[in-house]
């Protein structure tokens, strides 16, 4: 006999089969589909053994097996800031059990808020150093947009300094064979996501479309709002797409055996360490029919890259302005602003405008002020060819319950919603440089400005203009949402409500 627990009131029922809608909770009367299975005691014990032992009861509890973050217990002063951040800033629900509920969406906001450096991104860079030294594999690194406006801060530069060139040179000196840019993967995401959006507009199905490039948001939806999953874009994140393309198209072009490639990502985000391990991110394995191959192999954060540079005694000041390798080495302005809140939305609208009109987007869409800034929820209506598209940009998952409630009541007519866990977007991710005592919003705004300034300077502002993007569709993918694109660049997610009740 298995045990099932009501998600609403916590009442436990024993049953030999899964409860369904025909059952009604004797305590609160909700239907049986809102009951989740209670894990066996043995399983609970295993989970308890997995927790990093820590007497500090006000701190968040972290699993040893957490792929994204870890704890240095001796640094902790039990101030409680991390748990307050987890509950009030990130939106993790603690009402079930204050102590035992270590549901983690891996965002690393506890890392950025801890005043004692007691919670840290899991350090992956040491394995990488070994691999780089051995020189047995083809080491390919791709850098996420937001890293270039935070890395230099580790070397005493002004917050938000744009340091793309020095970052590239540092990666070359560290021994990487190819240095590529995830702004390319971001452009590819937009090509696919904008097409998916147009398809949904045409069919009228599953609107609004929610973005899905933030793995913390995806896991949050899987745990708390599985009913939203069909509304999430099926597009993999930029790093997910970049990883798939490197081990297929790129490998083919460069005549490299994909099994010899080690794909490394430098990200502002601790949750990306979790994302690359998900079974939903094994598109290359399915496409090439090779079991032991992953789309991406390692993620290191901005702070880990800084450690690698320092440990290799590379003088950051003396680094030259390097440039990315071809053929996945260039993104448009739309790809660059992915690192900012509202960036994905703006990038997508630039593409949607082109699809619907055949013209480049006007100034109002290139500087789309309504979705910029640090408010939790920003909304705007864009009119293209008499079509009114209402959009929202959400930063911070504490804003999600109210939005979902209104959507359920049919009170909102959004068509497209961007969701990012971190305030400011990925520039504020858990793997970015930390400045204890400095105003966090000031830091966010400076980094945001760093990326927008770069967007303004670039010749190509929209993903469809990127010559590398044109080439890959011509030579390999054929068109957005083609069969090959679906195989390599899309995925789908399933409910994880059982985690909430472990
Ligand atoms: S914020 Fe840091 S020091 Fe404070 S309780 Fe959490 S881990 Fe400990
Ligand atoms: S907003 Fe960006 S940095 Fe933050 S968790 Fe999501 S993907 Fe990671």
Q: How far apart are CA 103 and CA 469, in angstroms?
A: 38
Is the beta carbon of 271 within 6 A of some atom in ligand 2? yes
**Contact status, residue 480 vs residue 195, Cβ threshold 8 Å:** yes
Query: Which one of 182, 395, 419, 422 would you pick to mutate in the ligand 2 pocket, going by the greatest count of ligand atoms within 8 A of its CB?
Result: 422
Residue whose pair of structure tokens reads 């959009």 in the numeric block: 391
Cβ count near 138 (within 10 Å): 19
Mean pLDDT of 266-279: 97
User: What DSSP string runs through 376-398?
Assistant: SEEEEEEEETTEEEEEEEEESGG
Which residue's CA is minimally distant from atom 4 of ligand 1? Answer: 79
Instruction: Say how many Å lie between the CA of residue 121 and the centre of ligand 1.
Output: 14
Nearest CA among 140, 355, 336 for reference residue 242: 140
Q: How far apart are CA 38 and CA 55, in angstroms?
A: 27
Q: With 70 as the cut, is the pLDDT of residue 102 above it? A: no
> pLDDT tens digits, residue range 212-248?
999 999 999 999 999 999 999 999 999 999 999 999 9
Q: With 90 as the cut, is the pLDDT of residue 37 above it? A: no
> pLDDT tens digits, residue range 140-162?
999 999 999 999 999 999 999 99
What is the structure's pLDDT at 53?
83
Q: With 70 as the cut, is the pLDDT of residue 198 above it? A: yes
Mean pLDDT of 4-30: 82
Backbone angles phi, psi at 359, to 5 degrees: -120, 160
What DSSP state is assigned to residue 208?
A: S
How distant is the alpha carbon of residue 100 from its chain centre? 26
Is the beta carbon of 421 within 6 A of some atom in ligand 2? yes
Banded model confidence at residue 443, pLDDT cuts 50, 70, 90: very high
118 cis-preceded (ω within 30 degrees of 0): no
The tokens for 241 are: 């797409």
Q: Could you tell me where the DSSP H helices lie in 290-399?
A: 302-311, 333-336, 343-357, 363-366
The tokens for 429 are: 């991710």
Instruction: Say how many Å lie between the CA of residue 216 and the centre of ligand 2.
Output: 7
Banded model confidence at residue 501, pLDDT cuts 50, 70, 90: low
pTM: 0.89
Q: Catalytic site residues? A: 193, 196, 213, 233, 272, 275, 280, 426
Is the beta carbon of 58 within 6 A of some atom in ligand 1? yes
Ligand nearest to the CA of 271: 2
């Amino acid at each position: 006999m298995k045990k099932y627990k009501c998600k609403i009131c916590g009442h436990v029922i024993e049953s030999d089969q899964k409860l369904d809608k025909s059952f009604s909770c004797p305590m609160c009367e909700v239907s049986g589909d809102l009951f989740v299975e209670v894990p066996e005691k043995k399983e609970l014990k295993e989970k308890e053994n997995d927790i990093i032992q820590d007497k500090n009861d006000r701190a968040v509890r972290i699993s040893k097996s957490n792929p994204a973050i870890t704890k240095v217990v001796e640094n902790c002063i039990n101030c409680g800031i991390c748990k307050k951040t987890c509950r009030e800033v990130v939106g993790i629900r603690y009402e079930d059990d204050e102590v035992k509920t270590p549901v983690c969406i891996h965002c690393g906001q506890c890392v950025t808020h801890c005043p004692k450096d007691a919670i840290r991104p899991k350090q992956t860079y040491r394995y990488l150093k070994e691999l780089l030294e051995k020189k047995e594999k083809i080491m390919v690194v791709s850098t996420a947009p937001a890293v270039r406006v935070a890395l230099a801060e580790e070397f005493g530069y002004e917050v938000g300094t744009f340091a793309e060139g020095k970052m590239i040179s540092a990666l070359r000196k560290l021994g990487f064979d190819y240095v590529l840019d995830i702004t390319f993967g971001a452009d590819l995401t937009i090509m696919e996501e904008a097409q998916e959006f147009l398809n949904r507009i045409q069919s009228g199905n599953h609107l609004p479309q929610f973005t899905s490039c933030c793995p913390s948001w995806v896991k949050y939806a899987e745990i708390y709002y599985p009913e939203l999953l069909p509304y999430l874009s099926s597009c993999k994140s930029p790093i997910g797409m970049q990883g798939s393309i490197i081990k297929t198209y790129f490998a083919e072009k460069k005549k490299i055996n994909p099994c010899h490639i080690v794909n490394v990502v430098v990200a502002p985000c601790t949750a990306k360490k979790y994302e690359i391990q998900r079974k939903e991110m094994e598109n290359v394995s399915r496409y090439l029919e090779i079991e032991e191959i992953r789309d991406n192999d390692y993620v290191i954060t901005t702070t880990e890259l800084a450690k690698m540079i320092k440990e290799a005694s590379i003088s950051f000041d003396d680094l030259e302005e390097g440039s990315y390798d071809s053929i996945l080495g260039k993104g448009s302005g739309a790809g660059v602003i992915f690192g900012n809140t509202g960036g994905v939305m703006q990038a997508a609208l630039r593409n949607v405008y082109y699809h619907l009109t055949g013209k480049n987007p006007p100034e109002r869409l290139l500087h789309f002020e309504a979705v910029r800034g640090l408010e939790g929820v920003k909304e705007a209506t864009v009119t293209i060819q008499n079509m009114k598209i209402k959009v929202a940009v959400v930063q911070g998952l504490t804003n999600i319950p109210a939005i979902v409630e209104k959507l359920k009541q049919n009170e909102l007519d959004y068509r497209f919603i961007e969701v990012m866990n971190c305030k400011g977007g990925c520039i504020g991710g858990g793997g970015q440089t930390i400045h204890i005592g400095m105003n966090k919003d000031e830091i966010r705004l400076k980094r945001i400005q760093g990326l927008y300034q770069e967007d303004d300077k670039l010749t190509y502002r929209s993903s469809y203009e990127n010559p590398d993007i044109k080439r890959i569709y011509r030579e390999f993918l054929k068109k957005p949402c083609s069969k090959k694109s679906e195989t390599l660049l899309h995925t789908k997610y399933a409910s994880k409500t059982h985690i909430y009740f472990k």
